[in-house]
Amino acid sequence: EKLEKAKTAYTFDDFLLVPQASWVEPKDVDTKTRVTRNYEINIPILSSAMDTVTEAEMAIALAREGGLGVIHRNMSTKEQVEEIKKVKRSGDITIRDVITVDPDAPISEAYEIMKRENISGLPVVVDDKLVGIISRRDIKPIVNSKGDKKVKEVMTSDVVTVPESITPEEALNIAYENKVERLPVVKDGKLVGIITVRDILERKKYPNACRDEEGRFLVAAAVGPFDLDRAKSLDKAGADILVIDSAHAHNMRLVKYSKIMKKNIDADLVVGNIATREAAEDLISQEVDGLKVGIGPGSMCTTRIVAGVGVPQLSAIAEVSDVAAEYDIPVIADGGIRYSGDIAKAIAVGADAVMLGNLLAGTSEAPGEIVIINGRKYKQYRGMGSLGAMTGGIGAGTDRYFQNINKKSHMKHTKLVPEGVEGVVPYRGSVKEVIFQLVGGLKASMGYCGAKTIKEMKEKAKLVRITQSGIKESHPHDLLITNESPNYPTY
Ligand code: RVP
């Protein structure tokens, strides 16, 4: 009877999207999407909270392209806070830890600081009050002359300053009008930061970047299901979104605790992973801001084999999204995405965004070095439930899978039941290149389906169920591929 009642569940390969009458061309598509109750991102892509995928470098690269990185938690709270700060600092046009010099210091000292820190100008301050600015140009010709002059003798005292509320465009205009490279930011007469023309121009290179209200990059961070202290620290450090990272978020202790976590932070709270309607309902009743779906689809995940548990991903996304839509809560489809077409299918059945591990682990911005095997380049990629991740770092994988080990035990390996494996993925170049292909594929798909926005794609897309022979026909067949394509790896 149990078997008779069992539903059939499907995944990406079981369906294709049906082409429809369309006035939409890929170039007209808008990929902006909601990722939580209060946050929008510009492309529907997040990077996995895994120690071979997301640290600050990945989060910065992805935010620049319009996506969102979720900093992994297999490190101390202090280290994770530092990663968040790195992301926030890099997207900010105002440098806040400004290096300054005293007006009575000899110019040789100012010169040494500039050389050491590789900067071309220093604000001159007395008790945080800005009294001048000195640049390399001012001192280079005289620094070696005899009789060391003081900073105050050569500095420019008539400094053009700007308030904190300045926009990048206004700052750029002021800098050009006054022919200066750097603008000290002053609040109540005190120096609080500095804006450089270089940083503003750098910012213009990424028009699609995801930024917070202050213009800094958006960043998310993973937190253990019951780790309130870490959640508070990450929140304070400026994480915009926290993601409760668990292999089974329908654990009722976790469900209840998510409300406590939510009450204690300003950031939005995403909870995952789940795969059923019931789990979605239980979590939504705790007022979470987003849901993450995926039990067992991950490319390095063995949960379905080790525990025999999971739901094929396309059905899981569809089921959770149907519930979430009733409450207007965004859904992130996490795991199992191999091609851009899978992203389109995930959105077609209701996801607002996808999370990628495998596809981003091979980029230069993922942690870890390139390894060469048989003359080809690879990067390491491992499950957070693999032995390596559970015993490496701070062993964050153990509570992800509700396993506790005695950290002092010398027999750690024999006390763990892994749910993931360790391996390598092909090196794929930069995040920018990978994202270009993935978003390009999604835009093509939206063109075929006649959907101009992600919302329209969710509403309009139609699917057709296919068979094994349909899958075979879908992939290239009956030829020997001689040139590798950037969006269809053959390995
Ligand atoms: P994929 O993109 O298919 O490589 O899947 C990535 C996802 O797999 C992660 O975002 C996470 O939800 C899940 N994961 C991470 N570790 C493990 C594991 O060890 N089983 N699974």
Give yes or no: residues 104 and 86 share one domain: no
Domain count within the chain = 2
Annotated binding site: 245-247, 294-296, 298-299, 301, 334-336, 357-358, 381-385, 419, 473-475
What pLDDT shows up at residue 227?
Answer: 96
Say what the pTM is.
Answer: 0.89
18-67 pLDDT, tens per residue?
Answer: 999 999 999 999 999 999 999 999 999 999 999 999 999 999 999 999 99
Residue 469 lies in a domain: yes
* For residue 358, cis peptide bond before it (omega within 30 degrees of 0): no
Q: Tell me: do 188 and 232 sit in the same domain.
A: no
State the Cα–Cα distance between residues 196 and 94, nearest whole angstrom. Answer: 8
Q: Cα–Cα distance between 354 and 339 in angstroms, integer?
A: 12
Report whether residue 130 contacts ligand 1, using a CB cutoff of 6 Å: no
DSSP for 240-271? SEEEEE-S-TT-HHHHHHHHHHHHT-SSEEEE
Is the per-residue pLDDT at 13 higher than 60?
A: yes
Asked if the model's pLDDT at residue 405 lies above 90, the reply is no
How far apart are the CA of 383 and the centre of ligand 1, in A? 6
Distance from the first to the final alpha carbon of the chain:
43
Given 132, 163, 198, the domain boundary residue is 198
| pLDDT of amino acid 406 | 55
244 and 332 fall within a common domain: yes
Boundary residue ending a domain (198, 230, 263): 198
For residue 15, what is the enclosing H or E element? strand 15-17
Q: Measure Cα distances from 201 to 64, 92, 235, 486 in Å.
A: 14, 12, 30, 30
34, 203, 301, 449: the catalytic one is 301
**Predicted pLDDT at 315:** 98
pLDDT of residue 198: 85
Instruction: Establish whether 301 is a catalytic residue.
Output: yes
438-457 mean pLDDT: 98
- Four-CA torsion 297, 234, 71, 241, nearest 10 degrees: 60
Structure tokens, 3: 């078997």
* 98 and 179 fall within a common domain: yes
386 and 338 both lie in a single domain: yes
Q: What does the block give as tokens for 177?
A: 């009008």
- Give the separation between CA 5 and CA 306, rounded to whole angstroms: 24
Distances from the Cα of 77 to the Cαs of 56, 228, 229, 351, 426, in angstroms? Answer: 14, 11, 9, 31, 31
Residue nearest to atom 10 of ligand 1 (CA): 48
Q: Decide: 355 in ligand 1 pocket, CB within 6 A.
A: yes
**Cα 387 to middle of ligand 1, angstroms:** 14
Q: Is residue 428 part of a domain?
A: yes
Query: Does the beta carbon of 246 sit less than 6 angstroms from any atom of ligand 1?
Result: no
Q: In terms of domains, do 20 and 167 share one?
A: no
Question: Tens of pLDDT along 158-189?
Answer: 999 999 888 888 999 999 999 988 899 998 88
For residue 227, tell me if it sits in a domain: yes
The contacts of residue 474 (CB under 8 Å, 6+ apart) are: 16, 466
CA distance to 256, 306, 439, per residue, from 404 (Å): 20, 18, 40
For ligand 1, say whether the CB of 298 is within 6 Å of any of its atoms.
yes
Q: Which long-range contacts (CB under 8 A, 24 or more apart) does 84-87 make?
A: 84/56, 84/219, 84/221, 84/234, 84/237, 84/238, 84/239, 85/237, 85/238, 86/56, 86/60, 87/56, 87/59, 87/60, 87/63, 87/216, 87/217, 87/219
Residues 222, 70: contact at Cβ < 8 Å? yes
Q: What is the pLDDT of residue 490?
A: 78
Only one residue has tokens 């450089």, namely 196
Verify whether ligand 1 is closer than 6 Å to residue 313 (CB atom).
no
pLDDT score, position 413:
62
Nearest in space to 300 (alpha carbons), one of 368, 384, 378: 384
334 C-beta closer than 6 A to ligand 1: yes
* In a domain? residue 75: yes
Question: Is any atom of ligand 1 closer than 6 Å to the C-beta of 398?
Answer: no
- Where in the sequence is the domain holding 274, given as residue range(s)? 2-91+209-474
With the most atoms of ligand 1 within 8 angstroms of its CB, the residue from 45, 48, 320 to mutate is 48
Q: What is the pLDDT of residue 312?
A: 98
| Mean pLDDT along residues 362-374 | 95
Beta carbons within 8 Å of 190's beta carbon, 6+ residues apart: 128, 129, 130
Binding-site residue ranges for IMP = 299, 334-336, 357-358, 381-385, 419
Shared-domain flag, residues 58 and 153: no
Based on the domain organization, do 143 and 74 belong to the same domain? Answer: no
pLDDT band at residue 118 under the 50/70/90 scheme: confident
* Residue 400 annotated to the active site: yes
- Are residues 114 and 9 part of one domain? no
Specify the range with the lowest mean pLDDT, choosing from 104-108, 288-292, 370-374.
Answer: 104-108
Nearest protein Cα to ligand 1, atom 13? 298
Residue 370 CA to residue 364 CA, distance in Å, equals 8
Q: Mean pLDDT across the stretch 96-102?
A: 88
Cα-to-centroid distance, 174 and ligand 1 (Å): 48
Give, in order, the Cα–Cα distances in Å from 84 to each of 355, 395, 476: 19, 20, 42
CATH classification of the domain holding 87: 3.20.20.70
Say if ligand 1 is within 6 A of residue 362 CB.
Answer: no
Domain's final residue, options 198, 219, 242:
198
Q: Are residues 379 and 439 in the same domain?
A: yes
Ligand 1 centre distance from Cα of residue 298 (Å): 4
Binding site, annotated residues for NAD(+): 245-247, 294-296
State the CATH number of the domain containing residue 161: 3.10.580.10
Identify which of 298, 278, 361, 291 has the alpha carbon closest to the alpha carbon of residue 332.
291
**Catalytic residue, candidates 182, 216, 230, 400:** 400
Same domain, 224 and 350: yes
For residues 298 and 286, give the distance between their C-alpha atoms in angstroms, rounded to a whole number.
27
pLDDT of residue 440: 98
ipTM at complex level: 0.99
Whether residue 483 is contained in a domain is answered as: no
Q: What is the CA angle 441-34-429, rounded to 5?
A: 40
Q: Is residue 466 part of a domain?
A: yes
Say if 488 falls within a structural domain: no
User: What's the gap in Å between 135 CA and the centre of ligand 1?
Assistant: 50
Instruction: For residues 150 and 215, state if they share a domain.
Output: no
440 within a domain of the structure (yes/no)? yes
pLDDT of residue 371: 95
Written as six digits, the tokens of 433 are 């290149």
